[in-house]
Structure 1
Amino acid sequence: MNPQELEKLKYPIGQHHEHLKFTMEDVSSWIRDIAQFPQQITSLTENLTTEELNWLHRPDGWTIKQLVHHCADSHMNSFIRFKLALTEDTPSIKPYYEDRWAELPDSTIDDVSDSLMIIAGIHRRWTVLLNSLSEEQLHRTFYHPEHRKETNLGVTTSMYSWHCKHHLAHIEQALAHKGAF
């Protein structure tokens, strides 16, 4: 596989582009994406066999089950980052090694039902929180030590809208290729 094909498999919807300027209409669209994600990921994965859950989404990538478990982990972290930014002045958040988390025993089990429940619960609460934010609150920030920069909640909302679609596309890709690359 050539580098361009590998890049397309890694980023099937393209890479995220930061929206440093955004409107409340943009934010509403991103919130809808976040709100719809639990139903979409559940629809794609709830009836998969153990074999299918173990299909890779690209060469040297994660399995479908690891993608589901990763979304639960990642979105829990993001939800907490929102709450920190809303209750503290530019808190420094705790980065984590998502690749290492994806190899832990709870991220490699074949049963994804607990992660789907986590996603459903987090997204319900996250959506309530997001829908309550004023434009001023969307400009509250947290500091990301790994990236060495402040990020506001509006930009982060955009990122997680993309993140939802990005990993849904990975799962669809794994299913289309039957995990064979």
Structure 2
Amino acid sequence: MIEQPKNSYNMNSQELEKLKYPIGQHHEHVKYTMEDVASWIADIAQFPQQITSLTENLTAEELNWLHRPDGWTIKQLVHHCADSHMNSFMRFKLALTEDTPKIKPYHEDRWTELPDSTMDDISNSLMIISGLHRRWAVLLNSLSEDQLHRTYYHPEHRTETNLGLTTSMYSWHCKHHLAHIEQALAHKGTF
């Protein structure tokens, strides 16, 4: 029997995949109900309190714990959520005020390396998340079923995406990164 080479973390690909996607990958809901949308909006509305509870009292050492091998630190995850959700909020507003606007993709991996994303002080990003999600929840709760079908064009993926499916994606995104922070804390940043 030939032994498969192991990675430097002594984990198999399934274990690494579980660390990368602790709640599983996002699956688009081709059909969804307004009840589904209400549940997704609740996830988005609750996110600031959840991420703040997990992170506000962490030490600088803990904020530098990785969520998985070769992954981001807890502080980078917090800063990333502020960046990502600001971009998504703007995409919602563009889709609601323009006909299928072409959005601007960005290199999230590069953004996490910028000085404002590597600071140990996460308080400003937590404030951004808190204020942004309050406004986002107001906007989302005001949308009609017709408005949820408004779209934007993503040039990187070459697809039109409607706001209902985007709401689903960001509900998942919130839970995805909360799970990353929880696993970083559970593993104390070591794998």
TM-score tier (shorter): over 0.9
RMSD over equivalenced CA pairs, Å: 0.2
Residue 89, structure 1, aligned to residue 99, structure 2: yes
Deviation sequence 1:30-52 (CA, Å, 0-9, x none): 00000000000000000000000
Deviation sequence 1:4-42 (CA, Å, 0-9, x none): 000000000000000121100000000000000000000
| Matched residue, 2:74 | 64
Give the SS at the match of 1:175: helix
C-alpha distance in structure 2 between counterparts of 1:137 and 1:22, whole Å: 14
2:16 aligned to which of 6, 27, 30? 6
Q: Which has the larger radius of gyration?
A: 2
AA at the equivalent of 1:61: G
Structure 1 unmatched runs, 5+: none
C-alpha distance in structure 1 between counterparts of 2:110 and 2:131, whole Å: 24
Residue 175, structure 1, aligned to residue 185, structure 2: yes
| Matched residue, 1:117 | 127
C-alpha distance in structure 2 between counterparts of 1:132 and 1:104, whole Å: 35
State TM-score, norm by structure 1.
Answer: 1.00
Q: Which stretches of structure 1, 4 residues or more, deviate above 6 A after TM superposition? A: none
State TM-score, norm by structure 2.
Answer: 0.95
C-alpha distance in structure 1 between counterparts of 2:102 and 2:146, whole Å: 20
Structure 2 unmatched runs, 5+: 1-10
Residue 166, structure 1, aligned to residue 176, structure 2: yes
